[in-house]
Amino acid sequence: MAGVVCGAALAALTVPAAEARTLGADGGGVHWAVKDTGTPQVRFRGLAAVDRHTAWLAGTRGTVLRTTDGGSSWRNVSPPGAGGLEFRDVEAFDARRAVVLAIGEGEASRVYRTDDGGATWTESFRNTDPNAFYDCLAFFDRRHGLALGDPVDGRFRILSTSDGGRSWRVLPAEGMPPALDGEAGFAASGQCLVTSGAEDVWLATGGGARARVLHSADRGLTWTAADTPVPAGDPAKGVFALAFRDRTHGLAVGGDYRPGRPSPHAAAVTADGGRTWTPAATPPPAYRSGAAWLPHSRAAALAVGPTGTDLTTDGGRTWRTIDTGSYDTVSCTPDLSCWAAGEQGRAARLER
């Protein structure tokens, strides 16, 4: 079944590059073709894939890269003076317009926007609350978006924009359920906050006694919380990434991010919009930090992490490892393109 799904859903992908590693016979000849970014000192946890030609990367040392030729070349479009910042998420609307998030306590958490492909940037938000720490971004459309912050005064903090990230405001906390002791979001892949459609948004948590997914059907004004079977109870454990293919069907992946630690039950699925979660019958074998549905597929998705890439062809019930390369985040686009990024400047595009 995997060959049918991947071969059909990714039919537009190009012939393998010489340096690519095969993802295995069950992947239908699909493989990660590594693209040289020229930045081996940078770890890219932020990735925004626009199409098979255009993608944005955001990472350590205040680095933002952009390609418009399928990864053959990358342009360093980092905001001036951002070298000391940790970029963990980027959301791009096209080849010219993008929003990036820097994480950290207090003023280290910032948002920048560009309208000219990174030639110039505007700082649109700088956190002034020393107790706040922002983790990830998500947009419903080109104007409306949210940013997730760790709990302040016992509740997760949500920023909102209605002008494409040019300005931001903190949403009222009354609609947010109380956070568990030690609960927080993970700024590991830019996928701890995801949207579907015009109103629905989900956030993933860990660190508390239970790993939870919170859902809002009104763009972040009110939320409900649901427990997941992904292990928690430790600051290093929980749900690290979510992926929803519509407003009801979603995936959660995570585990224990510490190297060498076991991560049983590191994936779960929902078919009711996140109200209930079922553990994967055969989960990924280790911690995974990113996930994405394959384009136009109702059953196939990818999960990535430092020890490999896994494929599901049954909607997240079972997973199998198809690559052992290290990636932190993954993103797929409607024109049959998938990209991944991670440590040592790694970026790749799924090809066949």
Every domain of the chain and the residues it spans:
2-351
Q: Can you give the pLDDT at residue 352?
A: 77
- Indicate the class that CATH gives domain 2-351: mainly beta
Contact 300, 309 (CB under 8 A): no
Nearest to 254 by CA among 271, 273, 272, 235: 235
List all residues 6 or more positions away from 124 whose beta carbon is below 8 Å from its beta carbon. Answer: 99, 111, 112, 113, 161, 165, 166, 167, 168
51-105 tens-digit pLDDT? 999 999 999 999 999 999 999 999 999 999 999 999 999 999 999 999 999 999 9
Chain segment 131-185, per-residue pLDDT in tens: 999 999 999 999 999 999 999 999 999 999 999 999 999 999 999 999 999 999 9
Query: What is the distance, to the nearest Å, from the Cα of residue 43 to the centroid of all Cα atoms in its chain?
Result: 14
181, 228 contact by CB (below 8 A)? no
Which pTM value belongs to this model? 0.92
pLDDT at res. 22: 36
